Amino acid sequence: MPSAAMPATTQFELRLASRMLRLGTETAFEVLNRARALEKQGKDIVHLEIGEPDFDTPANVIDAGVNALRKGWTHYGPAAGLPDLRQTIAEYVSRTRKVPVAAEEVVVVPGGKPIIFFTILALVDEGDEVIYPNPGFPIYESMINYVGGHAIPIPLREERDFSVDVKELASLITERTRLIILNSPHNPTGGVLTKRDILDIADAIGDRNIMVLSDEIYSRLIFEGEDFSIMSVPGFKDRTILLDGFSKTYAMTGWRMGYGVMRPDLATHVTRLMTNSNSCTASFTQIAGVEALRGDQSSVDKMNAEFKHRRDVFVAGLNKIKGFSCRMPKGAFYAFPNITKTGWSSKKLADALLEQAGVACLSGTAFGEYGEGYLRFSVANSLENLNKALARIDEWTRKNL
């Protein structure tokens, strides 16, 4: 319904720039809105659609943010981030990725997402090819299309435990490949690339002048396997943009803070994009970021142990449901069951589970065409709710399959 202040029609046609037709979206937020609308009608919904920790930000981090506000960290700061946070991140990345990183190679931005946006804006020209994981985080494909690049999917297949088929990747690289996007641990499948996988990918790229955007936002959420970054492979530091942030690790999705680590000459250009878009990341948020990385890490360990336990319970439960089969995700906080045996398409099944069973999840196709045959559930919800969701899906499948 149009509001009183907004006329239903206008004589002025909305003339959008044509690139807007190429911009995609993140379905999770749309499903969340539909689920909220059903709740308004009195329906009870279990929310397993959004990928965010259900925990509060650790108390020491909140205190640091609140104190920073009181101390006057309420002004503009440098576009690339506060020096203290950039230095803290440089030390953290040097330690965890075993590659020396300097503060000038770090750009702090409002969330991990802007690093995807800025990297693609800064590096991809019209007609350039970008290889990206499919299924994968939908913003990659959206942004490649937006800038007029050619989005070249590398399918991640269940039989390979959702890791990259390096031979297939090698066959997709051409003269026009400008950027390759990797994401491990992976959203939506929970797949984790092994050190061997990454070394083989590096071999396939060889000494070509191709940049790699390595999305490591779930780097602290690995349950099986190891955290190994292509940035640490000899010869790859200059060709890697490492994306990480605070949203998932420290349950800080609403604070909006993430970062990219990249060669200083590229960092200068990404900083120019920050100047043109956000000016800077909120200053008090960055002070809290220093505390998150330097302070007590026990909340991270506690959250991770809880996610692992929930993953085990939820995946075991899914595997008992008719038509569902689910591999054990090795990282992140998602389950990505195969639902082909239900005979339903992913989108139809996700819609039916939301509307008829009161369980909000995402269709695998929200992550690209190779997501058909799968659903994505976030296990970042209480065990009680996860069990409730399992019972509801089980009951629904008994009635409808």
Sheet holding 375-378, edge to edge: 334-335, 375-378, 362-363
Report the distance separating Cα 98 and Cα 259, nearest Å.
18
Q: Does 220 bind ligand PLP (CB under 6 A)?
A: no
Distance, C-alpha 294 to centroid of its chain = 24
Q: Does 245 bind ligand PLP (CB under 6 A)?
A: yes
Shortest CA distance to 78 belongs to which of 37, 55, 106, 44?
106
Question: Quick one: which segment of 108-116, 230-238, 264-272, 369-377 binds ligand PLP (CB under 6 A)?
Answer: 108-116
Place of tokens 């906080």: 333
29 versus 148: smaller Cβ distance to ligand PLP:
29
Q: Does 27 bind ligand PLP (CB under 6 A)?
A: no
357 versus 380: smaller Cβ distance to ligand PLP:
380
Is the separation of the CB atoms in 315 and 298 below 8 Å? Answer: no
Neighbouring CB atoms inside 10 A of 320's CB total: 9
Smallest separation (angstroms) from ligand PLP to the CB of 114: 7
Q: Does 291 bind ligand PLP (CB under 6 A)?
A: no
**Beta bridge pairs of residue 359:** 46
Report the distance separating Cα 112 and Cα 27, nearest Å.
18
Smallest separation (angstroms) from ligand PLP to the CB of 393: 23
Q: For ligand PLP, how many residues bind (rule: CB under 6 A)?
A: 13
Of the candidate residues 253, 281, 283, 397, the single one contacting ligand PLP (CB under 6 A):
253
Return phi, psi of residue 76, to 5°.
-60, 150
Report the distance separating Cα 85 and Cα 91, nearest Å.
10
Q: Does 112 bind ligand PLP (CB under 6 A)?
A: yes
Place of tokens 């919800």: 381
Is the separation of the CB atoms in 233 and 198 below 8 Å? Answer: yes
The DSSP call for residue 222 is B
Structure-token pair, residue 36: 């909220």
197 versus 215: smaller Cβ distance to ligand PLP:
215
Can you list the positions of beta strands (E) in 51-112? 106-109
Q: Does 215 bind ligand PLP (CB under 6 A)?
A: yes
Question: Quick one: which segment of 107-115, 124-132, 361-369, 370-378 binds ligand PLP (CB under 6 A)?
Answer: 107-115
Smallest separation (angstroms) from ligand PLP to the CB of 110: 8
Map residues 120-159 to x or -, x wherever contact with ligand PLP holds by CB under 6 A: -----------------x----------------------
Smallest separation (angstroms) from ligand PLP to the CB of 244: 9
Report the distance separating Cα 7 and Cα 86, nearest Å.
48
Structure-token pair, residue 47: 């929310």
Q: Does 258 bind ligand PLP (CB under 6 A)?
A: yes
Smallest separation (angstroms) from ligand PLP to the CB of 349: 22
Whose CB is nearest to ligand PLP? Answer: 111
Smallest separation (angstroms) from ligand PLP to the CB of 264: 23
Of the candidate residues 35, 217, 280, 339, the single one contacting ligand PLP (CB under 6 A):
217
Residues 190-209 that bind ligand PLP (CB under 6 A): none
Of the candidate residues 88, 119, 183, 381, the single one contacting ligand PLP (CB under 6 A):
183
Q: What is the gyration radius of the CA atoms in the chain, in angstroms?
A: 21
Smallest separation (angstroms) from ligand PLP to the CB of 236: 20
Q: Does 178 bind ligand PLP (CB under 6 A)?
A: no
Q: Does 219 bind ligand PLP (CB under 6 A)?
A: no
Is the separation of the CB atoms in 247 and 31 below 8 Å? Answer: no
Is the separation of the CB atoms in 385 and 73 below 8 Å? Answer: no
What is the contact surface with ligand PLP in residues (CB under 6 A)?
51, 111-113, 137, 183, 187, 215, 217, 245, 247, 253, 258
